[in-house]
Chains A and B, each alone.
Chain A
Amino acid sequence: MKFQGLNNGLTLVEDGRRRPSTELPIFGQARILRVALVGQPNCGKSTLFNSVAGYRSETSNYSGSTVRVTQTCVRLNGMTVELFDVPGIYSLTSSSPAEAAARQLLLESKIDLIINVLDASLLSRSLELTLEVRELGIPMVVCLNMADEAERKGISISEEKLSECLQVPVVKTVARRGDGVQQLFAKVKEAASAPLKHASALRWSRDVEHAIGKIQAELQRDGVAYQKTRLLAIKLLERDDELTRTLTDDFHVRTEPFCTTLSVQRGRPTEAIIMSERHDTAMRIAEEVSEVRTPKSDVRVALDSFLTHPVWGYVSLVAVMAAFFWGVFGVGSALEGLLQDELAKIYDLLAVHIASGTLTQAAIKSLWDGFVGGAAIVLPYLLPFLIGLALLEDIGYLPRVAYLLDGLLHRIGLHGTSMLPMVLGYGCSVPACLATRMLPSRRDRFVASVLATLVPCSARSNVIFALVAFYLGPWWALGVFGLNAVVVLFSGWLLTRMWPEMSAGMVLDVPRYQWPKLSVIARKVWLRLREFVVLSWPLLIGGSLVLGLIEHWHWHHYVNAALSPLTRLLDLPFATGTTLVFGVLRKELSMVMLGQALGTDQINQVMTSTQIVVFTLFVAFYIPCLATIASLVRELGRKLTAYALAYTMIAATVLALIARLALRLVFAH
């Protein structure tokens, strides 16, 4: 068969399981209903998903926070539903890997029903995707989400009229509050077992329908199942590059006349005809089903003019970042001091019962150190940090940051959209690398993921806070962050010089601000904190135990000796060698183990201020942790990852060396 085995995107072969759309599907008790949530970016798919699945899919107030398909099985109204949260798409034509994932799911997996989520306040724009998805011939329910936002904008939409137009059930929801979700899934049950009706709103003009019909006939001649041909024919007229690449020359020769005839008759390319006709239909439906009154005055509009103002916007940006920094530092250092003292008292009570110098004592001491490291050094900074980041994400401030910094980023050859993964990099490098999937250009994805790993993640920020800020003062820590930003920008400049062609231009959705919801923030922070509690903390304790035992048997000298060229070069204490090795597992390990390796909690008694800064700088820049390396390999491939790692290693060594030499002048010791 002609199309079989032709790579990505589309499998044009009948699989025997897909039923003709006019026939009633059979849902036995044991049958699992596969439901996909499809919609444009930032319309609340993940929020809806979470409202039935618990907080599993991360939500944020910006386009492209979901970059891969998340799935879950839930029991709803007595049926088992396998629910897919799909990355937001504007069209079934894909331009970024995230969109490609969505398209692949819809075209290749056997989805039984689509819940098309619309942002009710952007109805006509959202309906264009609805019209396209409707052509897939899969049963569908339309979810008019953010109904409250639409009302606030003075738009009232009639569900009945819309349902009439599209011939599918329509339910209004406010997924954030959980309103209407019950009704939505009740409709899902109904719609899944009802045949998909013909909707006259989906008919194109006569000449377009004629061309579609001709191409459909050709597709059928090649053995493509009838209900798939319609969408394929439309996509062919739309000149969907990914699709046309998979078609044979012979097929093109046979169908080209239909496209040319249509294009000559209308005097414009077929893709323009399809797009504008779809747009007109969406517009007509939107006007037919909605009534627009004068909107309520919205304080967010005024707020936004201020926060994106050419002057006040930047002033606010600096203020927000400063508040973030001082907030994390203030809460973190206060808690760190308090917890260190209290936990030290507990250990003193414990220590009198253990004979010193024994293996038992070494084991217990190191386990305890690992535990205290997590509780007293990491958590105090990590918690406020994650809360702050979640707040910025949910309010919708991050796209404004991208907007404000686009001009600056252009100087280094990047778009403002690359800013989002970098900002997420302050949280954790792994999701930051994943987030680059929303960027359409491969080059931007490469540069952004390398830069995102250079940005200090919360673990590395933790080292900066707990060492530099705690012992030398917050201004020094701010200096380290500033230096990092300069290095990141410089690296960006360097990388884009090596790969100069710049993608066409930035188009960035700027969402409305949203008042953050406490329960969502709490669950999101917990989702990210859990990563530390169940994975990193045990690793800290385990690593600490290993180090304790190594020290007990005096093996650490070999590791330290092996790393002595580096430690000597940077003038760091001999004992820090092992901590740097462990840091590759998790960056927090370097810091937590530092106290243990040096044999004291008071780092400043055994390390000079210069050494603290040099150590922190090195830890902040050198090779990212294992989890990050793994995700870099997945996103970039081994070769590019190896280059990226070599680059971070060189950058770390050079910077630490410069700092060592320069700070000698400052501290005079």
Chain B
Amino acid sequence: MPKKSGLRQTEPSLTPKNLKRCSLDKVAHGRDAMVLELRGDRCAEQQLVYRGIRPGEMLRVRQIAPLGGPIMVEVNGGSVAIGRALARHIVVGVVPLP
């Protein structure tokens, strides 16, 4: 039986309630997180949503640029770089390490 996409496969017990809530810019390199809330203005929110960054979606932090640079996340099989200021407005739940 072929598996569905790897990133989205989460434990059934993993619900937004038992994840550690924080903003995206606080998530460590390489960790997986679930998007819980988008707080930015509507234009920025739309830009995120079009690229698949929306509540309920899983993402992985792939790279964090120094000097307050952007955060590169992998979502839905593609990579997107998000400016640090915008990342502060994205609330995520960090998936605990196994």
Known: A93-B46, A125-B51, A275-B49. A310 touches B65 (CB 8 A): yes
Interface positions, chain A 432-447, Cβ under 8 Å from B, are: 440
> Please, how many residues of chain B have a CB less than 8 angstroms from a CB on the other chain?
40
Taking the complex as formed, is A121 at the interface, i.e. its CB lies under 8 A from any CB of chain B?
yes
Taking the complex as formed, is A498 at the interface, i.e. its CB lies under 8 A from any CB of chain B?
no
Instruction: Quote the shortest CB–CB distance from B57 to chain A (angstroms).
Output: 9
Q: Which chain B residues lie closer than 8 Å to A507 at the CB level?
A: 44, 47-48, 51, 80-83, 86
Contact A310 B81 (CB under 8 A): no
CA distance A491 to B4 in the complex (A): 50
CB contact between B68 and one of A294, A310, A407, A511 (< 8 Å): that residue: A407
Taking the complex as formed, is A504 at the interface, i.e. its CB lies under 8 A from any CB of chain B?
yes
Contact A122 B76 (CB under 8 A): yes
CA distance A399 to B65 in the complex (A): 13
Instruction: Quote the shortest CB–CB distance from B86 to chain A (angstroms).
Output: 3
CB contact between B70 and one of A91, A125, A406, A512 (< 8 Å): that residue: A406
Of A162-170, A183-191, A344-352, A408-416, the one contacting chain B is: A408-416
> Please, how many residues of chain A have a CB less than 8 angstroms from a CB on the other chain?
47
Known: A121-B77, A287-B4. A506 touches B52 (CB 8 A): no
Contact flags A76-99 to B (C-beta < 8 A → 1, else 0): 000000000000001101010000
Taking the complex as formed, is A471 at the interface, i.e. its CB lies under 8 A from any CB of chain B?
no
Interface positions, chain A 184-218, Cβ under 8 Å from B, are: none
Choose among B52, B54, B76, B81 the residue with the greatest number of A CB atoms under 10 Å from its CB. Answer: B81
Closest to B69 in A: A407
CB contact between A403 and one of B4, B48, B72 (< 8 Å): that residue: B72
Known: A294-B3, A406-B70, A416-B70. A505 touches B86 (CB 8 A): yes
Taking the complex as formed, is A601 at the interface, i.e. its CB lies under 8 A from any CB of chain B?
no
Taking the complex as formed, is A528 at the interface, i.e. its CB lies under 8 A from any CB of chain B?
no
Taking the complex as formed, is B79 at the interface, i.e. its CB lies under 8 A from any CB of chain A?
yes
Contact B86 A504 (CB under 8 A): yes
CA distance A122 to B83 in the complex (A): 22
CB contact between A125 and one of B3, B44, B47, B78 (< 8 Å): that residue: B78
Contact B43 A506 (CB under 8 A): no
Contact flags B20-58 to A (C-beta < 8 A → 1, else 0): 000000000000000000001101101111111010000
CA distance A359 to B69 in the complex (A): 63
Contact flags B64-98 to A (C-beta < 8 A → 1, else 0): 11111110100011111111111101000000000
Contact flags A281-294 to B (C-beta < 8 A → 1, else 0): 00000010001111
Instruction: Quote the shortest CB–CB distance from A103 to chain B (angstroms).
Output: 14
Q: Which chain A residues lie closer than 8 Å to B79 at the CB level?
A: 304, 509-512
Taking the complex as formed, is B63 at the interface, i.e. its CB lies under 8 A from any CB of chain A?
yes
Contact A124 B51 (CB under 8 A): no
CB contact between B83 and one of A155, A293, A399, A416 (< 8 Å): that residue: A416
Taking the complex as formed, is A56 at the interface, i.e. its CB lies under 8 A from any CB of chain B?
no
Taking the complex as formed, is A104 at the interface, i.e. its CB lies under 8 A from any CB of chain B?
no
Known: A122-B78, A125-B78, A406-B70. A506 touches B83 (CB 8 A): yes
Q: Which chain A residues lie closer than 8 Å to B69 at the CB level?
A: 403-404, 406-408, 410, 416
Closest to B90 in A: A505
Contact B72 A510 (CB under 8 A): yes
CA distance A124 to B57 in the complex (A): 12
CA distance A305 to B64 in the complex (A): 11
CA distance A275 to B4 in the complex (A): 23
Q: Which chain A residues lie closer than 8 Å to B13 at the CB level?
A: none
Contact A406 B81 (CB under 8 A): yes
Taking the complex as formed, is A128 at the interface, i.e. its CB lies under 8 A from any CB of chain B?
yes
Closest to A416 in B: B70
Instruction: Quote the shortest CB–CB distance from A298 to chain B (angstroms).
Output: 12
Choose among A408, A504, A512 the residue with the greatest number of B CB atoms under 10 Å from its CB. Answer: A504
Instruction: Quote the shortest CB–CB distance from B3 to chain A (angstroms).
Output: 6
Contact flags A308-333 to B (C-beta < 8 A → 1, else 0): 11100100000000000000000000
CA distance A155 to B67 in the complex (A): 37
Q: Which chain A residues lie closer than 8 Å to B3 at the CB level?
A: 292-294
CB contact between B50 and one of A91, A304, A305, A308 (< 8 Å): that residue: A91
Contact B40 A505 (CB under 8 A): yes
Known: A128-B50, A293-B2, A407-B65. A510 touches B83 (CB 8 A): no
Contact B63 A505 (CB under 8 A): no
Contact B46 A292 (CB under 8 A): no
Contact A292 B2 (CB under 8 A): yes
Instruction: Quote the shortest CB–CB distance from A50 to chain B (angstroms).
Output: 23
Q: Which chain A residues lie closer than 8 Å to B82 at the CB level?
A: 505-508
Known: A90-B51, A292-B5, A504-B86. A403 touches B81 (CB 8 A): yes
CA distance A503 to B43 in the complex (A): 9
Q: Which chain A residues lie closer than 8 Å to B70 at the CB level?
A: 403, 406-407, 416, 506, 508
Instruction: Quote the shortest CB–CB distance from A309 to chain B (angstroms).
Output: 7
Taking the complex as formed, is A556 at the interface, i.e. its CB lies under 8 A from any CB of chain B?
no
Q: Which chain B residues lie closer than 8 Å to A523 at the CB level?
A: none
Known: A406-B70, A410-B68. A504 touches B41 (CB 8 A): yes
Choose among A294, A410, A440, A505 the residue with the greatest number of B CB atoms under 10 Å from its CB. Answer: A505
Closest to B3 in A: A292
Interface positions, chain A 216-256, Cβ under 8 Å from B, are: none
Contact B65 A504 (CB under 8 A): no
Instruction: Quote the shortest CB–CB distance from A592 to chain B (angstroms).
Output: 42
CA distance A440 to B66 in the complex (A): 25
Taking the complex as formed, is A276 at the interface, i.e. its CB lies under 8 A from any CB of chain B?
yes
Choose among A415, A503, A510 the residue with the greatest number of B CB atoms under 10 Å from its CB. Answer: A510
CA distance A153 to B72 in the complex (A): 19
Contact A291 B64 (CB under 8 A): no
Taking the complex as formed, is A279 at the interface, i.e. its CB lies under 8 A from any CB of chain B?
yes
Contact A291 B78 (CB under 8 A): no
Closest to B29 in A: A310
CA distance A125 to B76 in the complex (A): 8
CA distance A445 to B36 in the complex (A): 32
Report 16 cross-chain contacts, Cβ distance below 8 Å, ordered by A residue. Answer: A90-B50, A91-B46, A124-B52, A125-B50, A125-B52, A293-B3, A295-B6, A403-B81, A406-B69, A406-B81, A407-B84, A410-B85, A505-B40, A506-B81, A506-B86, A508-B70
Across chains A and B, which 3 residue pairs bring their CB atoms closest together, nearest first? A505-B86, A407-B69, A506-B83
Contacts from B to A (Cβ < 8 Å): 2-6, 40-41, 43-44, 46-52, 54, 62-70, 72, 76-87, 89
10 more A-B residue pairs beyond the given contacts A276-B54, A406-B65, A504-B41, with a C-beta to C-beta distance below 8 A: A128-B50, A304-B79, A308-B63, A310-B65, A399-B81, A406-B70, A407-B84, A416-B70, A506-B83, A509-B78
